[in-house]
Chain A
Amino acid sequence: MTPPQSVLRGLTSGGGLGLAGLVTVVLALGLLFLSSAGRIDRWPAEATSRAALEAATPTLRRDGFVGSDACVACHPGEHASWAATYHRTMTQRATETAVLAPFDGRELVGVDGVYRVERRGEEFWVRMVDPERKLAAAEAGEALSAGPEVWRRVVMTTGSHHLQVYWVASADKRRLLAFPFSYLIADQRWVANESTLLRPPEGDAVYTWNQVCIQCHAVSGIPGDFDEAGPAGASTSSVAELGIACEACHGPGEAHTTRHRDPTARYGQHIAGGADPTIVNPARLPHDRASELCGQCHSAAVFADENAWRQRGPSFRPGGRLGPDLQVVRHPLRADQPWLDDLLLQDPGFVEGRLWGDGTIRVVGREFSGLLESPCYQRGELSCLSCHQLHGADPDDQLAPQMDADAACTGCHPSLATAEAAAAHSHHRADSAGSRCMNCHMPNTTYGLLGASRSHEIAVPEVDAQLQGARPNACNLCHLDQTLRWTAEHLRRWYGAETPTIEAEHREVAAGLAWAVAGDANQRALIAWHMGWEPALIASGDRWVAPILALLLEDPYDAVRYIAGSSLARLPGYEGLGYDYVGAPSSRAATADEVRRRWRSGGDARRDPQLLRDPSGELRRAALAALLADRDLRPIDVRE
């Protein structure tokens, strides 16, 4: 008899007693394992917690949509490359994989109280000033003041690239309200939401996800009656999927997945080739339709019928025209849009918050609005997909290979492909930043996410002689140390551009300095960013900018201070300043003094009069004060 047989026989020989004993031992071991893993206690609690999270966040809808999970079986590569993008993680339920900030019990000091963030098991909780009360006060036109504190569970997050915003469920209505602090991912720090925006320093605001964010941070969002009273923690808003997923670009997938469950249909499509009528492939669309698809979110636009959108969601579908559903707002200088008057009555800052005075877009994330105004789009066949690819590219900017260089342009402009031709065209050394197509034709004049990024309106550099409200020109964003007159003269000489009338002060003062000191908050933010941008520092020098950045360290706008601090930190000799852009004014002033001290001892040899230097190299204080007194103080509220 083999040992196993003997064991079995022994166990069963006692009238089943042994077998019962074996079963008992196995069960006991199983229970011990589960208990030690803590799973018995946690399962019901986890399920309840998850259910509460799902109930508080927008309902997932399936009216023609199937969700990205339905795509993975047939398109695993595309699914994986999408999953690696920041599009996917734009909106997530607040799970431990989604939340990036430390909820470690720390306290955060806000304008109206002390907030607290903490973690309870797998849940994230915040103690905050009652947001409903703040909203009620705002709706009644009263000033926001300190109110009762409440604990709320964080149920959703926005963003995963630059910063992350946290949302809590409203207690009396079915909407999601922003926790007043965001997490800056690169800096690994909590800051007030208002300190992440280029807005007048006016304190606080309560943001509602269902009202605005749902339009683009989810697939086919329907706001619903979120501002009506309802059970706490129950959302009436619905989405096809949280985040920007497959069906945002390819359209609803139900017809496609249903048809392609049939293998004969699949092989018929494989063999026949060509477009599949059940799904949209943006790469097969004409350039305007493909771009409009991106423009559903990446444009300054309003719904033609906002009430219809709130109740039924967007009627735009990929492959269609934006027009019937969304109206892209262009500057009144550029297009006659009669409906714009009504919009401006409701929101007087709509245009100014999104467009520069010349009509170019000023805010990041509205790239289609810029493309729309570009000759390459209007008269050519440029589309978003000419340069960007949504699958397999670097998630940072999702550019196709080589599309961060001149190849993006020389594909259609082959006569400028050689180094000699580029140098002859740009009048700059072929290997210099001045010969890079994008530096002249797509300068970094859009603001957002505490930085500058490229304008997507592909345009010819020109000097706008007005200092107030003007978009900084491409030339002076590198040649920060030169005047507008200098630039206008070069453009006249090289390209025959007309020279505008330039006011006296801008004939004498370097444009970068003038914008940084006397410009509006958007100009100051852009110049502060360019004072840390390598091509600009190579072209205009890096020593002279420190005292100007020191001035911006004390700017009234948080965002300008943040950017100035970041640019200074990149300058040699200004490491370890320990600058806190939302720190006490006295500490900011002390840092600015320290910067000036280091600059004076650093041996800056510049004596250029346009940099307001006296013969000793010191700044001419009176001239600087006069420029400062002339600062454009109009409130700037860039609508990100």
Chain B
Amino acid sequence: MTTQSKPDPRIRHHLSVGWTTIALAALFGLGLEAMHGLKLASYLDLDAATRRHMWTLAHAHGTLLGLLHLGVALTLRAAPELLADPSARLAGRLLLAATVLMPAGFLLGGAWYYAGDPGLGVLLVPVGGFALIAALVLLAIASRRP
């Protein structure tokens, strides 16, 4: 019988955020499918094309960002030296910000929208997008360090 050491709290944090985000995105996806099933005009009408597009993007981004957290958790487990790297630490925080901002931006942009344009909530998306890119770049740099 072997004993396993407890994983670092940050690994657990990414695992927790990742699975929670995926669960929420799946729940939201179920809601979208229900709106298709129930033929809700406020979602399916041509006038609601912007909403449909935004909410589909919210669902997709939530799922993919959740998977990214799981990927980061696996990375940290495979390369524990990254746990002490300040760039990787910052990347984790930026990824968390992106995980909140991007799906929320798409969600809000579709909840209140103008003809042909998402609502102002969509402004959260580019902020989250920059945070995501920064996180990915920082992780890439940290991974290259010997």
Residues of A within 8 A of B (CB): 73-77, 79-80, 263, 266-267, 270-271
Contact = CB atoms under 8 A, between A and B. Distances in A.
B45 interface: yes
B49 interface: yes
Contacts of A270: 114, 117
Contact of B46 (A76, A266, A271): A76
Contacts, number: 26
A266 B50 CA distance: 15
Nearest to B119: A270
B120 A74 contact: no
Contacts of A77: 45-47, 49
Interface in B42-80: 45-47, 49
Interface in B105-121: 114-117, 120
A269 to B, nearest CB: 9
Interface string B85-112: 0000000000000000000000000000
A591 B21 CA distance: 78
Contact of B47 (A73, A76, A267, A271): A76
Contact of B115 (A75, A80, A263, A267): A75
A74 B116 contact: yes
Nearest to A77: B47
Contacts of A271: 120
Contacts of A79: 46
A77 to B, nearest CB: 3
A74 B46 contact: no
Contacts of B114: 266-267, 270
A79 B45 CA distance: 12
Nearest to A74: B116
Nearest to A73: B116
Nearest to A260: B116
Contacts of A76: 46-47, 49, 116
Of the listed residues B45, B46, B116, B120, the one surrounded by the most CB atoms of chain A closer than 10 A to its CB is B116
B47 A74 contact: no
Contacts of B46: 76-77, 79-80
7 contacts: A74-B116, A75-B116, A76-B49, A77-B45, A77-B46, A267-B117, A270-B117
A38 to B, nearest CB: 34
Of the listed residues A77, A80, A263, A266, the one surrounded by the most CB atoms of chain B closer than 10 A to its CB is A77
Contacts of B120: 267, 271
B146 to A, nearest CB: 33
Nearest to A76: B46
Interface string B20-48: 00000000000000000000000001110
B102 to A, nearest CB: 18
Given A74-B117, A77-B49, 10 more contacts: A75-B115, A76-B46, A76-B47, A77-B45, A77-B46, A77-B47, A80-B46, A266-B116, A267-B117, A271-B120
